Structure 1
Amino acid sequence: MNTAHDADALLVDDLPAPRHSRRLAVVTETYPPEVNGVAMSMARVVDGLNRRNHDVQLIRPRQPARATPPSGHPVVDEVLTKGLPVPLYPNLRMGVPSKRALVKLWSLKRPDVVHIATEGPLGWSALQAAQHLALPVTSDYRTNFHAYGKHYRLGLLSKPIMGYLRKFHNRCDATMVPTEALRQLLAERGFERLSVVGRGVDAQRFDPARRSAELRASWGAGPDDLVLGYVGRLAPEKNLGVVLAAYEAVKAQQPGVKLVFVGDGPMRAELAARAPQAHFAGSRSGDDLAAHYAGLDLFLFASLTETFGNVTTEAMASGCAVVAFDSAAAGELIHSGVNGWLAGAGREEDFVATTRVAASHRAARLAVAEAARATARRLDWGDITARFEGVLESAIARAEPVFAMQGLQPAA
């Protein structure tokens, strides 16, 4: 018996199989330095795919300032297309129809799968080009465009928009959604092949340790003063009138309470007029943004148009107690009274009353904030990227018999 030989064989057999690298085309109409949930989460996914040794081709509109992935890991292949300002969102860009260019691009360098993050003109072109070339396609459902209608006097367009989104996603091999509740809602509305892939949070960046007495003092808040806050776009679809109502209710009981808005948008002037005592910090990013979260005591998030709401998990990771409607990420992650507080979806009086209760009980607020931090620490981006990768691999596997029948070969 050759013991040494057997031991060597055992060592070799126990080694994990090498990861099969894929050629992935990722199409998105928003990406950093643009600041929004879709852009930031897509940057994390692209970075994660690079870390997992995939060859990522990122296709996006050209922006006034060049994007840099937040981790410093370069995108392997970046293709910039013509971009135009998004109506109602002048700081964002959208792509233009580009089917012919994408067909040419992918004919020369064929990807294993095309992933489309947004459903705009560039996303639609990518879907058409991929289907023309018989490429597997996956997509994200990330923005409830149809729910924005009542905020921008576009209510009559809600059904046509939903019809377009259903047509778009049902032409894909899989559509990723961030919560089980959204999966069920879309399934009821005729969406097919839905997979739940959540969102992660950077719990090292968003950390209670970043709380700064100096920053709070700049808001006029002392160590024991209560600070309510909101982070995000200052826009009608964020339901900020409810945040103001909650602040006024708390202020009636605690005159020294402070209100901080972090972000910018078309409602800033209106909010400043309605709440002249509030502090408007403007747009923040990176560690500066994390310090602003950590300086808050209660995070008020009244939006009902989110598919997820990354700000919820960022606030939780920052050790900030959250008051939100039972919707999106909050509805998925928060157990009311344990690691946050929930109001019935759309019940504004309930939201105000819940905020008033949370503001009145400091000990309970601190316990909830600690539990929120523990919840957020479990939302690791590495796990999310692995689930994302799994959906891509399933789409590729389903396409391989089609390749064989048509005499095509997957990307080498």
Structure 2
Amino acid sequence: MQSPSAPPSASGTSRCFSESSSSRPPQDTKRRKLRIAIVTENFLPKVDGVTRTLARLLEHLRAEGHDALVCGPENGLSEYAGFPVIGTFGVPLLVYPGLKLNFARPRFINELTRFRPDVVHFVDPIWLGAQMLPLVNHYLPLVPCVSSYHTNLPTYATLFGAPWLESIMWNLTRRLHARCEIVFCPSESTRRMLRGKGFENVEIWSRGVDTNLFNPSARDDNLRASWGCTPKPARLTGPLTPSVVPVDSKAKLLQYARKLSLRPSKKRRARGASISADLDDVFIRTPPSEPTEFSPPPSYDSLNDVPELPLSPFSLPPPAISPTECVVSQPPITAEEPESKTVILYVGRLSWEKNLHLLVEAFRLLPAPVRAASKLVFVGDGPARAELTGLCKRLKLDATFMGHQKGSRLAALYASASFFAFPSFTETFGQVVLEALASGLPVVGLNAEGTSDLVVHGKTGLLLDVAAVTRPGKHTEAGEVPPIPSVGEFAAVMTPTHPAFQQCAREYSALFERLVCDRTLRATMGQRAQVGAVCRTWYNAMDAVVQGYEDVSKRAGVARLNDEHMNEALLQLHARQFKPLG
């Protein structure tokens, strides 16, 4: 939902700093400039999780001084982030008009050969990737290839009524990714799924969030008033409890870092100043090692359980903050202060494969008084919007459709809601979930791939365990992670005509009711959610891919194609009657 061209966006300070900086090379090291060619099935101006992530990667490469070239569908763009974009024609899919079957063209290989890439990155290879991988291997045999898995494309065959095609697509997808040295995926649950399907060399390419944009301070009471919701009572607008401090002020957090001596010394920062400018033409400067954001330090009440020192006549001093002060408590609502409506927010593509039937049915099943005190807000657009709007009107549900939003307007929508509903089971990550958590919203979702990696059940949100509902005879042992059903199992159960669908909808509705009726629980979960999201920086997420590029380039033993290799490849092109296109 956020503009792809705009920068997107509970542990102690020292822990967050180590996580943020450990993935970065030491400050005084030098990193070679890379030339990255990207072959993608999908690109802007279509806006979805894949294109936004790809746009973010290109912006990161530009900021770090690398070079890139994009080969993908024709979209009217000749460049993005200063990098050339080469397009080709495609045939729209009947079942999914937003996607096309794109065809390779001779110019792709011609431009790739001239570009002399260090690495070729295939994004979600399935159709164009199947054509380009053999060509790249033949004409650029010394260049290593990597791939990234973003979308559960094979499972969409089942969702669109062709389950017989799913196994064929899995075999094709597995073979394509097997020709690459690294397969990036966005979450640990997706990696487990891919390994179970026979994929190898799978690494995590996570996502980040801009906490300067997505945070609770973006709340807009005028927006809430347009939904028929009263502003938040004054007694609920005070600071968070001492034990759960949000990262609202970067200055305060940097002050924490200075007290802990986490900032590099001036002497260390000055070491790179004398490096020759000639070397800077071949190498790029690694960014500062300090993080852009810190988590708050642990609260003093963590000393409560520390035993007395042995053989000592004195005890540890009492905690600076009383444990009772660290508990979120709110007085009951009085007659003079009526309860504001609870805003249940969904952000994402309005398409039935996002499991929106479950969301609508769960809202309908809320007890009448609870539903009267709730508001359902949809943000996004898609092929199901007209049908979804009509369904909500027929069921007489209090639902508002805000359309496609981005930037500060999108951030205000998140921060003005009460909690986030996300019933999708086809996500490999769920960027909107992370944006909601950073905005201080607890998330009510499914125990599914992607969502379960971001939401801790009972801590930062509530997750519906579909396996427990559909297989009540099987119980999970204490401490054991509940099993995640396959997409095929989800698709079957989430069909409105399936016998178990109504039971799942009732259970999901019960999770809604719990948060609607318990404002204290919402506040506590929202605070934890915001603190937990702050360490997911975009720099670390994007630089993980760059480090992968560096690794495969070193293993390949070639810095980049030299003139001899380039000329040989061009001769092969001419021999096969590939004519360069100016």
**Normalised TM-score (structure 1):** 0.87
Equivalent position of 2:487 in the other structure: none
2:125 is aligned with 1:119: yes
2:60 is paired with a residue whose SS is helix
Residue pair 1:231, 1:261 contacting (<8 A) in 2 also: yes
Three-state SS of the structure 1 residue aligned to 2:450 is: helix
Check if 1:238 corresponds to 2:359: no
1:28–1:15 distance in 2 versus 1, CA, 3 Å: closer
1:251: Cα distance to partner? 5.2
Aligned residue for 1:157? 165
Q: Secondary structure at the match of 2:366?
A: helix
> What one-letter code is carried by the residue in structure 1 that aligns with 2:385?
R
Q: 1:126 and 1:111 mapped to 2: Cα distance?
A: 15
Tell me which residue corresponds to 2:43.
31
Q: Please name the residue that 1:170 is paired with.
A: 178
Instruction: State the SS of the aligned residue for 2:211.
Output: coil
Shift in Å, 1:68: 7.8
The aligned amino acid for 1:46 is L
Give runs of aligned pairs for residues 210-225 of structure 1, distance below 5 A: 210-223=218-231, 224-225=340-341
Task: Please tell me whether the aligned partners of residues 199 and 384 of structure 1 are also in contact (alpha carbons under 8 angstroms).
Answer: yes
CA contact (8 A) 2:209 2:435 kept: yes
Q: 1:303 aligned to 416, 419, 424, which one?
A: 424
Compute the displacement of 1:396 (Å): 1.3
1:10 aligns to what? none
**Post-superposition offset of 1:274:** 2.2
C-alpha distance in structure 1 between counterparts of 2:205 and 2:406, whole Å? 25
Match of 2:87 among 68, 80, 83: 80
* 2:299 is the alignment partner of 1:291: no
Residue in structure 2 matched with residue 344 of structure 1 by the alignment: 465
Pairs within 5 Å for 1:390-409: 390-400=547-557
Distance 1:279 1:67, change over 3 A: farther
**Which structure 2 segments of 5+ residues have no match?**
1-25, 232-339, 470-503, 567-582
Match of 2:217 among 209, 212, 223: 209
C-alpha separation in 1, matches of 2:521 and 2:154: 37
1:22 aligned partner, one-letter code = L
Please give the alpha-carbon distance, in whole angstroms, between the structure 2 residues aligned to 1:84 and 1:270. Answer: 26
Return the offset for 1:118.
Answer: 2.3
SS of 1:139's equivalent? strand
User: Residue 5 of structure 1 corresponds to which residue in structure 2?
Assistant: none
Partners of 2:126 and 2:64 in 1: how far apart? 28
Name the CA shift for 1:99/1:171 in 2 (closer, same or farther; >3 Å).
farther
Distance 1:138 1:297, change over 3 A: same
**Which position in structure 2 is the counterpart of 1:128?**
134
Matched with 1:49 is 61
1:260 to 2:377 alignment: yes
Which runs of 5 or more structure 1 residues have no equivalent in the other structure?
Answer: 1-13
Q: Which residue of 2 aligns with 1:356?
A: 513
State which of 103, 107, 125 in structure 1 corresponds to 2:113.
Answer: 107
Q: Which residue of 1 aligns with 2:539?
A: 382
Deviations 1:111-130 (A, max 9, x none): 00001112243333332222
Please report the TM-score for the alignment, with normalisation by the length of structure 2: 0.63
Q: Does the CA contact (< 8 Å) of 2:126 and 2:173 recur in 1?
A: no
Contact 1:308 1:329 in 2 (8 A): yes
Q: Following TM superposition, by how much is the alpha carbon of 1:394 offset from its aligned partner in structure 2, in angstroms?
A: 1.7
2:558, 2:217 → 1: CA distance?
52
3-state DSSP of counterpart to 2:151? coil
* Structure 2 counterpart of 1:4: none
Deviation at 1:329, TM superposition (A): 3.0
Secondary structure of the residue that 1:375 maps to in structure 2? Answer: helix
1:193 aligned to which of 175, 178, 201: 201
Instruction: Determine whether 1:58 maps to 2:63.
Output: no
CA contact (8 A) 2:101 2:128 kept: yes
Equivalent pair of 2:433/2:454 in contact (CA under 8 Å):
no
Q: What count of residue pairs does the alignment treat as equivalent? A: 388
CA offsets per residue over residues 292-311 of structure 1, 9 Å max, x none? Answer: 22221111111111111111
Opposite residue 378 of structure 1, the aligned amino acid is C
In 1, are the aligned partners of 2:88 and 2:105 still within 8 Å (CA)?
Answer: no
The reply on whether 1:250 has 2:372 as its aligned counterpart is: no
Deviation, 1:332, is: 1.0
What is the percentage of aligned positions where both structures have the same residue?
33
Q: Which is greater in Rg? A: 2
How has the CA–CA distance of structure 1 residues 67 and 178 changed in structure 2, closer, same or farther, with 3 Å as cutoff? farther
Q: Identify the residue that residue 401 of structure 2 maps to in structure 1.
A: 280
1:260-295 CA-to-partner distances (Å, cap 9, x unmatched) read: 111112222222222123111111122222222222
More helix by share: 1
Question: C-alpha deviations, 1:85-118, integer Å up to 9, x for none?
Answer: 343343x353622153322222222100001112
Task: Provide runs of 4+ in structure 1 moved above 6 Å.
Answer: 401-404
SS in 2 for 1:220: coil
